[in-house]
Amino acid sequence: MTPRMDESDLIKQINLLKRKLAREQGGREHAEQLLESKARELYQLNQKLTDALASLKNHEVQLIQQEKLASIGLLAAGVAHEINTPAGYVVSNLNTLNNYIESIEQCHQTLDNQEQFKRSQYHNLIEEHDLNFILEDMPALISTTLKGMQKITSIVGDLKAYSREGSEEFDYVCVDELLIETLNLTANQLKYHVVVETDFNCPNDFYADATKLSQVFLNLIINAGQAIKEKGRLIIRSKEFAQHIEISFEDDGSGMDKATALKLFDPFFTTKPVGVGTGIGLYICNDIVKKHQGEIKVHSEIGRGSTFIVVLPKCEPQES
């Protein structure tokens, strides 16, 4: 038989239960306040991280554009020379055409002033103004003028395509055509000391950001040209495989040791003299290729040159 609890013991038990209940309630309220505080801190931290990420992306876009503009500045003299040559013979051709038109007008005026004109006089007039040569030369002049203007248009178009700023724009592009456009931009930079050989075998369209890939190709071509101190050779190859494509840039320049090659893609690392390199070109190139789920491989040996291989997996646009 359970002993009967007296009133004082019962009161003690009730008070003990009340104290326990109060402690538990206080602990629960404290835990809820702590949880709410931590949730608020997490929200604020997440907001700061979101703002920091947006700021980093904005700085990345600016950094890429700055490097692009630095490359354009490096190419500016060469592009100006490339434009100046066709522009020069366009101006020359137009001046010659203007003289031809004056000769034709003079001949026409002479004919218009004569009521009766003998055949012999006609032939003499043609010879005097050299009309046979003019008529023979004019189509060639017009043709070379059009070619000159087309070359200028092509150079300006390639430069505009390379320099445009904007968000990532993936689309189907021909890698071989991108390489040709980039080589057009760097032609004057290389033609006096580098023999460029090409072996392009990627005729099919590839899903990529054409502007960003052009920046990668341009940077690697310029670097190869700068690595060749006197006379040398640059071989550019593109090859398509079942699941990926490869674009290689092989030069016979100065080369580098393994320690240098390992640091090539570090931000602000450069082997170039002060004022020549920014140290972010290859870092940006590597970042662009990574965003294409690819990689850049480097093989180099001091005194024998370097080979940079851009490996890009084939991918399809994601359905939204």
In eight-state DSSP terms, residue 114 is -
pLDDT truncated to tens, each residue of the chain (320 aa)? 555 666 777 777 777 777 777 777 777 777 777 777 777 777 777 777 777 766 666 665 566 556 665 666 556 656 666 677 777 777 777 888 777 777 777 776 776 566 555 655 667 777 777 777 777 777 877 887 777 777 777 777 666 666 555 445 788 989 999 999 888 888 878 888 899 999 999 988 889 988 889 889 988 998 899 889 889 999 999 999 989 999 999 999 989 988 888 888 887 677 665 555 555 678 888 888 998 999 999 999 998 999 999 999 988 776 65
Q: Which of 310, 259, 311, 282 lies closest to 71, judged by CA?
A: 282
Cα(161)–Cα(173) distance, integer angstroms: 13
- Give the β-pairing of 232-240 and 244-251: antiparallel
Cβ-Cβ contacts under 8 Å for 75 (sequence gap 6 or more): 159, 185, 186, 189, 222
Phi, psi of 198 (to 5 degrees): -125, 145
Report the first-to-last Cα separation within the chain, whole angstroms: 76
Q: What is the pLDDT of residue 184?
A: 84
Specify the residue for token string 């050299």. 130
Six token digits for residue 225: 């040209």
Asked if residues 82 and 187 have their Cβ atoms less than 8 Å apart, the reply is yes
Phi, psi of 295 (to 5 degrees): -150, 160
Its sign, for the CA torsion 51, 53, 56, 58, is: negative
Cα(266)–Cα(262) distance, integer angstroms: 8
Cα(120)–Cα(125) distance, integer angstroms: 9
Asked if residues 148 and 87 have their Cβ atoms less than 8 Å apart, the reply is yes
Q: Is 92 helix (H, G, I), strand (E, B) or coil?
A: helix
Distance of CA 91 to the CA centre of its chain: 33
Global confidence as pTM: 0.57
CA–CA–CA angle 83, 86, 91 (5° rounding): 115
Q: Which of 101, 247, 259 lies closest to 177, judged by CA?
A: 247
Q: What is the pLDDT of residue 79?
A: 67
Phi, psi of 312 (to 5 degrees): -125, 120
Specify the residue for token string 């040709």. 180
| Burial class of 208 by CB neighbour count within 10 A (0 to 12, 13 to 18, 19+) | buried
Q: Is 121 helix (H, G, I), strand (E, B) or coil?
A: helix
Asked if residues 236 and 248 have their Cβ atoms less than 8 Å apart, the reply is yes
Q: What is the pLDDT of residue 246?
A: 96
Element (H, E) at 78: helix 7-113
Q: Is 200 helix (H, G, I), strand (E, B) or coil?
A: strand
Asked if residues 149 and 85 have their Cβ atoms less than 8 Å apart, the reply is no
Q: What is the pLDDT of residue 219?
A: 87
Q: What is the pLDDT of residue 167?
A: 47
The CATH architecture of the domain made up of 167-320 is 2-Layer Sandwich (3.30)
Six token digits for residue 52: 């920091």
Q: What is the pLDDT of residue 214?
A: 86
Q: What is the pLDDT of residue 309?
A: 96
Its sign, for the CA torsion 213, 276, 273, 306, is: positive
